[in-house]
């Protein structure tokens, strides 16, 4: 299986470190623990994949890192987010606005929700450059054209005058990517950026992200539901369930030796082209309500290996191999 593991070997420098991050939302039903004790680090040049069902906390984790949680009802109640030695949770909003785009950038799932329909592509790409980079005004558009060429936008001199609705979905996603890399951030977060793309454009976009990462030694967090993309893009994988990371390890370890029942179930849900089956596998049951989480393991109600201890006490992280951890009592 081909993975991106070689890129992680280029540098062991930790550029982003998240420790015990907790983001809660107050609702009429109670406190929703959307992110509940998430910890991980990210090295320069590495790609970390974040996988899990919808509602598992992946996007809220990334919005917390970007300090984009709406207050109220949301609030980061605990943890540290250290980017290149600086704790982002200690910054004022004015200081954080200087970090977003310049040191850490976000590509969201739907480009039409991040591109303003009343401004041209050129205006939107140059905005980040004007705010974060100290370059002469006449050079701003030249820089914008340069980053648009980097993401393979054809005829950039004329396309910068276009509006988002005049571009295809694949082109719009590339423009969002151009805005993300325009100020050469250390960390780029891609939140399911290929969901709205067809298979051919998806492959081109993934190759584009890989090329940009190799060129700039960018640290990348890739949120996805697709284990095929994980195999192509990622060095390590963090599997999230009910606001927690339940398993983390290298792509090779996770694929060859999934050690948490939820990881096993996710991988079993991926259809295999060489198997002829009457019914595709599906994980039974539903994720728990995040405002009423059980005392023990949140996956216990859906787990085929459940024991009494699973219901009574949440498991700690158990080592499986070097750099591979799983929160499951079967490993005790």
Range 245-274 average pLDDT: 90
Q: Please tell me whether residues 159 and 304 are part of one structural domain.
A: no
* Domain span at 125: 119-181
Quote the Cα angle for 171-176-178, to 5°: 90
Q: Please tell me whether residues 318 and 208 are part of one structural domain.
A: yes
At residue 167, does pLDDT exceed 60?
A: yes
Range 212-226 average pLDDT: 88
Among residues 143, 165, 181, the one where a domain terminates is: 181
Q: In the chain, what percentage of residues exceed pLDDT 90?
A: 57
The secondary structure of 184-223, three-state, reads: CCCEEEEECCCCCCCHHHHHHHHHHHHHHHHHHCCEEEEE
Range 5-32 average pLDDT: 81
Give me the pLDDT at residue 5, please. Answer: 46
At residue 185, does pLDDT exceed 50?
A: yes
Q: Please tell me whether residues 41 and 95 are part of one structural domain.
A: yes
Q: Please tell me whether residues 98 and 213 are part of one structural domain.
A: yes
Among residues 181, 198, 224, the one where a domain terminates is: 181
Query: Residue 52: phi, psi to the nearest 5?
Result: 155, 165
What is the pLDDT confidence band of residue 16, given thresholds at 50, 70 and 90? Answer: very high
Q: Tell me which H or E stretch contains 82.
A: strand 74-83
Total domains present in the chain = 2
Comparing 16-30, 47-61, 183-197, the range with the smallest average pLDDT is 183-197
Q: Please tell me whether residues 53 and 140 are part of one structural domain.
A: no
Digit-coded pLDDT (tens) for 94-120: 999 999 988 999 988 777 778 899 999
Does residue 110 lie within any of the structural domains? no
Does residue 35 lie within any of the structural domains? yes
Q: Please tell me whether residues 20 and 33 are part of one structural domain.
A: yes
Give me the pLDDT at residue 204, please. Answer: 80
At residue 6, does pLDDT exceed 90?
A: no
Query: Residue 193: phi, psi to the nearest 5?
Result: -75, -10
Does residue 154 lie within any of the structural domains? yes
Range 238-246 average pLDDT: 95
What's the N-to-C CA distance of the chain in angstroms? 30
What is the pLDDT confidence band of residue 2, given thresholds at 50, 70 and 90? Answer: very low
* CATH number, position 211: 3.40.50.300
Residue whose token pair is 């539901």:
225
């Amino acid at each position: 299986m081909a993975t991106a593991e070689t890129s992680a070997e280029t540098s062991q420098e930790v550029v982003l470190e998240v420790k015990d991050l907790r983001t809660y939302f107050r609702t009429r039903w109670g406190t929703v623990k959307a992110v509940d004790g998430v910890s991980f680090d990210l090295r320069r040049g590495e790609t970390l994949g974040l996988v899990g069902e919808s509602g598992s906390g992946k996007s809220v984790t990334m919005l917390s890192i970007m300090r984009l949680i709406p207050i109220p009802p949301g609030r980061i109640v605990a943890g540290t987010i250290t980017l290149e030695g600086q704790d982002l949770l200690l910054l004022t909003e004015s200081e954080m606005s200087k970090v977003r785009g310049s040191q850490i950038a976000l590509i969201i799932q739907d480009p039409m929700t991040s591109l303003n329909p009343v401004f041209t592509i050129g205006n939107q790409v140059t905005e980040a450059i004007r705010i974060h980079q100290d370059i002469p005004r006449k050079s701003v558009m030249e820089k914008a054209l340069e980053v648009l060429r980097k993401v393979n936008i054809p005829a950039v001199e004329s396309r910068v005058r276009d509006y988002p609705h005049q571009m295809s979905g694949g082109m719009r996603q590339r423009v969002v990517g151009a805005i993300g890399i325009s100020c050469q951030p250390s960390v780029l977060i891609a939140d399911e950026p290929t969901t709205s793309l067809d298979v051919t454009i998806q492959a081109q976009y993934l190759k584009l992200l890989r090329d940009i990462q190799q060129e700039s030694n960018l640290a990348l967090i890739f949120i996805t539901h697709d284990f095929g993309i994980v195999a192509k893009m990622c060095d390590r994988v963090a599997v999230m369930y009910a606001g927690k990371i339940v398993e983390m390890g290298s792509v090779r370890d996770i694929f060859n030796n999934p050690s948490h029942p939820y990881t096993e179930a996710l991988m079993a849900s991926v259809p295999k082209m060489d198997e002829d089956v009457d019914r595709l596998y599906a994980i039974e049951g539903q994720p728990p309500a995040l405002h009423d989480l059980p005392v023990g393991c949140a996956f216990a109600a859906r787990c085929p290996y459940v024991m009494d201890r699973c219901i009574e006490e949440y498991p700690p992280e158990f080592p499986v191999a070097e750099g591979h951890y799983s929160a499951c009592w079967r490993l005790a």
